[in-house]
Chains A and B, each alone.
Chain A
Amino acid sequence: MKSWIILKDGTAFEGVSHNLPGKAFGEVVFYTGVVGFQETLTNPVYAGQILTLTYPLIGNYGVNDEDPESPRVWPRALIVRDLSPIYSNFRAQASFDQFLEKNRVVCIKDVDTRALTIHLREHGEMTGIVATDGSDPEKLKKELAQSASPYSGNLTAETGAQEIREEKTSGRHKIAIIDFGIQKSLLGQLRDLGASWVCYPPGSGPEKILEKNPAGILLSGGPGDPERLPDAVKTIRSLLGKKPIFGIGLGHQLLALAGGARTFRMKLGHRGVNYPVVETGKKQSLITSQHHSFCVDAQSLPRNLAVTHAHLNDKTIEGIAFTDQPAFSIQFFPTRDENYRPNPYLEKFIQMSGS
């Protein structure tokens, strides 16, 4: 069925409904990787968003139970060009179709995804509606005008830990994680580093988090606008200096806010796996995986916050460290290195948290 993506500025993009008739509202963003679709769809940082995949051929290798970053799909809708009806991979357990259906994802295909991408690039990310239920585009426009951005709410209430969860491993390093929407692959790395951890819901207070006397505190990534999480900022502020802290993604932004900096919404976020990041004072730079639309404002940094990492091209802040506290953070996702060793920043944090 002919279906629509309507953007806040009134621009409409045509497509075809994939399977479910449905309607979804969210912030329209795009991801530029040529692989990683199942991982991206199950990454909690995409909560509240409508995800466009710039790579046009999706579903070729099917899905499996091993690769998801969380148990569910987070984007409110998916926009693609071509969906493969069949799949081919020795690890595949089901088709991408079945995966979308099981997760009840509203999906629109045959879209000129490049046209949409360029529109967002030129005009900035904005909210939009995807309707695969035959809704009238004019009505959708009206509906859109009345809806508030998902960023105006607290998305982490949904993506974060719902209750305190303790992971019993043989790990020596006890870590407290403020879980705004953690990814499975990060926990795997922590395990390899010999950590055990307790995940706390985003709203947990400092006393709660310190209750079990963790060796360090990890602020996980997550979706949305960090300035909408004043409680978390307050908690982090009071944790500063008490334990080593490491923030990732949203956690990085919250740490900056806790230190007195500000964040801003970028015109166009970073979503992909090819972002160049320069580390201050190092010859070697990093190619990183990023998924964010909010960013720490370089102008707002207090004196005790140093920029440790910056994007090579747009110079946005990619990492900070307190000069007077054992606390640092990175905007990008800490991936394993080429030898499958856990990420060095994660390792540094665990070392800082060593007894």
Chain B
Amino acid sequence: MPKRNDIKKILIIGSGPIIIGQACEFDYSGSQACKALREEGYEIVLVNSNPATIMTDPRMADRTYIEPITPEMVKKIIIRERPDAILPTLGGQTGLNTAVFLAREGVYDRYKVEVLGASAEAISRAEDRELFRNAMQEIGLKVPKSGIAHSLEEGIKIAQEVGLPTIIRPAFTLGGWGGSIVYNAQELEPALTKGLNISPIHQVLVEQSVLGWKEIEFEVLRDSADNVIMITSMENVDPMGVHTGDSTVVAPSQTLTTKEYMEYVNHSKRIIRKIGITGGGANIQFAGNPENGDIVIIEVNPRLSRSSALASKATGFPIARVATKLAVGLTLDEVMNDVTGTTKAFFEPTVDYCVFKIARFTFEKFPQADPVLNTAMKSVGEAMAIGRNFKEALQKGIRSLEISRYGFGFDGKDIDPESIDQVKLREKLIVPNAERFFYIKTALEKGMPVEEISNLSKIDRWFVYQMKEIMDLAKEVGAHRGKELKSVPREILHRAKRDGFSDIQLAYLLGRKEEEIFQLRQELEIRPVYKLLDTCAGEIRAEHPYFYSSYDKKDENRASGKPKVIVLGGGPNRIGQGIEFDYCCVHASYAIQELGYESIIINSNPETVSTDYDTSTRLYFEPLTREDVLAVVAAEKPLGVIVQLGGQTPLNLAVPLEKAGVKILGTTPDSIDRAEDRERFRVLLKKLNLLQAPNASAFSFEEAKGIAKEIGYPVIVRPSYVLGGRAMEIVYDDKELEKFMQLAIKVTPEHPVLVDKFLDDAIEVDVDAIADGETVVIGGIMEHIEEAGVHSGDAAMSLPPYSLGRKIVNQIREQAVALALELQVKGLMNIQFAVKDNLIYILEVNPRASRTVPFISKAVGVSLANLATKVMCGKTLKELNFTKEVKINHVAVKESVFPFIRFAGVDTILGPEMKSTGEVMGIDSTFEMAYAKSQIAAGTNLPLSGNVFISLRDKDKRPMISVAKRLSDLGFQILATEGTAEIFRINDIPVKGVLKVSEGRPNITDYIKNRDVHLIINTPSGKTPKQDEVAIRTNAIAYSIPLITTTAGAAVAVGAIEAMRKKGLTVKTIQEYHSEIPKT
């Protein structure tokens, strides 16, 4: 059936900031959808608050709103744009929920907007637990025994019927958020309360536990002619009970016979029909009893999802692209399979490899959090690896994770089997955790039988056996330790490479250096070949496949003789390394192609746009390690490699790659080292006559103590070479310093600890610039809103600065230019300044793309990453016609988004350690409105009236008087604990006293739980927070009450509230903002 001609303008809702459970995969899906619709000639209106996405690039849609994704704002956009249709299935749970709320409010009826892809009814049938259960029962499919509860009493009653353990699943939430496993009666009440609170419709499913069953997923697509195809099966290695986002997943399934497999396929086809999706896809999650094959349906996502992104990358079938075409009426047999280029999308992909997805956790960032895996997702990213067998894929997957592990152990970082007793080991196998594979290895090492490990972990024995085979082979290799390297049989080495062993592992097993193994392999001609991911297991010649390495015979690499440039991607998302860098890599790829070269991307992150089949000329789905990158370089022979756009991962490879003879494009590794090495950096700043906070390096506690005494506390301490402020802390005395040193030295023994004077109350400024060695152009100058001490990745920022004087800004500009020229930067550079008492200090210089590059690019309408890539490829900024800083008339505010809600009990105070997962942008004509939008977009619903609770440390009391006054004048009721209340009373501000937690009841937490507080301003009293404060802050998060923890933040928040009260929120496209930028 041809595409719909009765609709012309389509609104797409994005997914907003990156949060746990909703990452780059929705940018990937959304970008594909935008492209797919534009090809068909539709006009696209897009809303997404996340500036770091490719989909919000001005050229992706006709009209792009970087505005908060709330029903209120989307409604404003609908009124302004009057689209014919809305596509709600691309924006994850955020987009879907917004769409459902708008439907319930009758917005679509009123403005004649048709819902494409999945109707509001279909969405409800999948998302509403009760409707879903009924629908499944109508087609005779089993769901776990369960009941729907809208209240605590109801929930308790159902739990008694279902029996314990039971699973609590809140309706309409994302990534299992608010869900829990309840093992005993005591845990039930709090779990129900939490679930009911978190569900936007206050509904939870109390469900029979199928813990330990297999978790199986299928992706299916259906078109308007009722054609249904199955894209792939996915088998979770981890059993039911671990959220699939946290599970290790293989595709296709490995332990299902045809009969069971077909049962799942048939169920999936019946489900997508029953749910009523008429042009789109669904992800269906099953639990299968490994004892007898019983199948129950766990849930259905009637939209693009993390799993659909994984299924796309695993098979080569672009689900989002095809689903979008189906949504506008095309049928599967009318859509091309772009990977083969000659066949249609109506078929079922098949594979001749094994795909392995493994989650990346960041428990190290949240030491107070319980590192146990359950039904609520906790991972922040994932890596995908492809192998010709499971063992190869597993080992490549682990070394893709960027956790300094190079496979299934044997890398010098293994758990010492002697250090762990049987009881502890068994617990680590029974209770799912992020390190479980390594404990399985330890168990195998200690001689625990495969069967027993499988019984304890509920991980299928087939998978455990594969791990045992890796162990056995490692032993075989290890037997040659101490012998002459040449005497190691080629056959054993080859077999080890086939099973995914890295050179680092082999070097460890043989007691050699990585380079020696590499050399030996060259002599023995054991080199990887590249196989294709082509959707069809080789049956059809594919025009646009992508590549993975294996140690098979035939090399299918299609390296051409044309000039080409390799861009190294960023690997799995984690805190400090997210979508911003992928955005830069994608732009680099486009820029390289614009210059007439071929672009080659190497990356291992399946969620990203950079690993889409049509982003680069050729894509290599490989781990980002020295060995894997060198192999691609050998196959492709590029002009050079770009390492400065993908964040710290590729940057860390700059020196090893250069040493191996690879040409690094752009700023030289030596310049990078001049900026990163503290000693060389000090010399550099001295030469340029620039200021630095007093600092020194220390190798021991005594040394550090001496330095701190000299420069005075507080000091910032951190190990050298860090990413995202990892292990960085502000310490106020010797005792804290000692504690830090013990931990930090353990983290990185080979690097010294840096001790810097902490500039209390300074204003931080971030500058991104682009340079070609001669010309330096400032991309943007951003003033932090929080005082110094908050990691720049966590801070809110304003572009342009909102409080700094012109003189200071000009000086900052001059200093940035001087640094870029001195470092001979070719490409991007980020500088962090601190301004205190009218003096400008340099905190850090990073000669690479920073997290703020996409934010600035969106604000000023210039792709800095594109220009920087062209500079790295030899163009000058003059040639590129970019020689002047862009001055904007509007204001853009970046705000960060945090995962605290996922880690119960973790304090929310910001510091030098980065904790945010994502960001939003608020854009408007004034700073106040832009800030207000940034807060709404980040999920902080600043109230326009109500009760404000204020609790301050002494030093903040004075500056907060005026803020409290303004709030009071706006009609807010101020609540405060005694110490703070007293100050307000003295200053004639009406205030109501509230008890502290320790003072009896009702106290402040009761107010929070009763939702009698609408805004909380609570500044931390010191490094070690008081019990009271933590209770306030964690409750604020749990009950979604806006929480401000800095005085600067409070002041601008009040400004925003004033502005919103004066003038309502309005919406405007990024294209309009850009067109208003004065041409110079």
Contacts and interface: CB of A to CB of B under 8 A. Distances in A.
A54 B390 CA distance: 15
A287 B347 contact: yes
B257 A121 contact: no
A98 interface: no
Interface in B218-261: 225-227, 229, 233, 252-261
30 contacts: A13-B553, A32-B538, A33-B350, A39-B258, A54-B352, A54-B539, A56-B353, A56-B388, A57-B390, A60-B254, A61-B257, A64-B257, A81-B389, A82-B388, A86-B465, A114-B352, A274-B347, A274-B348, A274-B349, A276-B333, A276-B344, A276-B346, A276-B347, A284-B225, A285-B332, A285-B333, A313-B343, A313-B344, A338-B266, A338-B270
A82 B389 contact: yes
Consensus secondary structure, chain B interface: loop
A285 B352 contact: no
Nearest to A115: B554
A66 B258 CA distance: 11
Given A33-B350, A283-B225, A117 B537 contact: yes
A35 interface: yes
Given A57-B390, A60-B254, A272-B539, A90 B292 contact: yes
B462 A287 contact: no
A274 B350 CA distance: 8
Contacts of A278: 333
Contacts of B563: none
B254 A285 contact: no
A120 to B, nearest CB: 9
Interface in B456-470: 460-462, 465
Interface in B241-292: 252-261, 265-267, 269-270, 290-292
A117 B540 CA distance: 10
B225 A118 contact: no
Interface string B381-420: 0000000111000000000000000000000000000000
A339 B270 contact: yes
A91 interface: yes
A122 B538 CA distance: 10
Contacts of B293: 90-91
Contacts of A170: none
A169 interface: no
Given A55-B352, A82-B388, A276-B347, 18 more contacts: A54-B350, A54-B537, A57-B254, A60-B254, A86-B462, A88-B461, A88-B462, A114-B554, A115-B554, A274-B348, A278-B333, A284-B227, A285-B227, A285-B332, A285-B333, A287-B229, A312-B343, A312-B346
A137 B1000 CA distance: 90
A273 B541 CA distance: 18
A312 B227 CA distance: 13
Q: How large is the interface on A (under 10, 10 to 19, 20 to 34, 35 or more residues)?
A: 35 or more
Interface residues of B, number: 58
Interface in B480-527: none
Contacts of A339: 266, 270
A93 to B, nearest CB: 11
Nearest to A86: B465
A71 interface: no
Contacts of A158: none
Contact of A283 (B258, B261, B331, B352): B331
A285 B346 contact: yes
Contacts of B460: 88
A84 interface: yes
Interface in B550-595: 552-554, 556
Contacts of B554: 112, 114-115, 118
B538 A117 contact: yes
B542 to A, nearest CB: 11
Contact of A121 (B253, B255, B541): B541
Interface of B: 1, 225-227, 229, 233, 252-261, 265-267, 269-270, 290-293, 331-333, 342-344, 346-354, 388-390, 460-462, 465, 531, 536-541, 552-554, 556
A36 interface: yes
A14 interface: yes
Contacts of B350: 32-34, 54-55, 272-274
Contacts of A67: 257-259
Nearest to A118: B538
B344 A312 contact: yes
B353 A313 contact: no
B255 A313 contact: no
A298 B344 CA distance: 21
A89 interface: yes
Interface string A71-92: 0000000000110111111111
Interface of A: 13-14, 30, 32-36, 38-39, 54-57, 60-61, 64, 66-67, 81-82, 84-92, 112-115, 117-118, 121-122, 268, 272-276, 278, 283-285, 287, 312-313, 337-340
A33 B226 CA distance: 24
Contacts of A84: 462, 465
A278 to B, nearest CB: 7
A66 to B, nearest CB: 8
A285 B389 CA distance: 34
Of B257, B266, B350, B353, most A-chain CB atoms within 10 Å: B257
B300 to A, nearest CB: 16
Contacts of A56: 352-354, 388-389
B352 A113 contact: yes
B496 to A, nearest CB: 14
A34 B252 contact: yes
Nearest to A15: B553
Contact of B531 (A55, A60, A114, A268): A114
B342 A313 contact: yes
Contacts of A90: 290-293
Contacts of B259: 66-67, 91
Given A56-B354, A56-B388, A275 B347 contact: yes
A84 B225 CA distance: 41
Contacts of B531: 114
Nearest to A274: B348
Given A113-B352, A274-B347, A32 B536 contact: yes
Contacts of B266: 337-340
B538 A287 contact: no
Contacts of B233: 34
Nearest to B352: A54
Top 9 closest pairs, chain A to chain B, by CB:
A115-B554, A274-B348, A88-B462, A338-B266, A112-B553, A283-B225, A54-B537, A117-B538, A338-B269
B412 to A, nearest CB: 29
A92 B255 CA distance: 10
A340 B465 CA distance: 34
A278 B331 CA distance: 12
A113 B388 CA distance: 10
A84 B259 CA distance: 19
Contacts of B225: 283-285
Nearest to B555: A115
B859 to A, nearest CB: 47
A274 to B, nearest CB: 4
A355 B290 CA distance: 46
B385 to A, nearest CB: 15
Contacts of B348: 273-274, 287
Contacts of A340: 266
Contacts of B343: 312-313
Contact of B539 (A36, A64, A121): A121
Contacts of A121: 538-541
A314 to B, nearest CB: 9
Nearest to A122: B541
B322 to A, nearest CB: 14
A36 B265 CA distance: 14
A161 B835 CA distance: 92
B335 to A, nearest CB: 11
Contacts of A85: 465
Given A86-B462, A117-B539, A285-B333, A55 B351 contact: yes
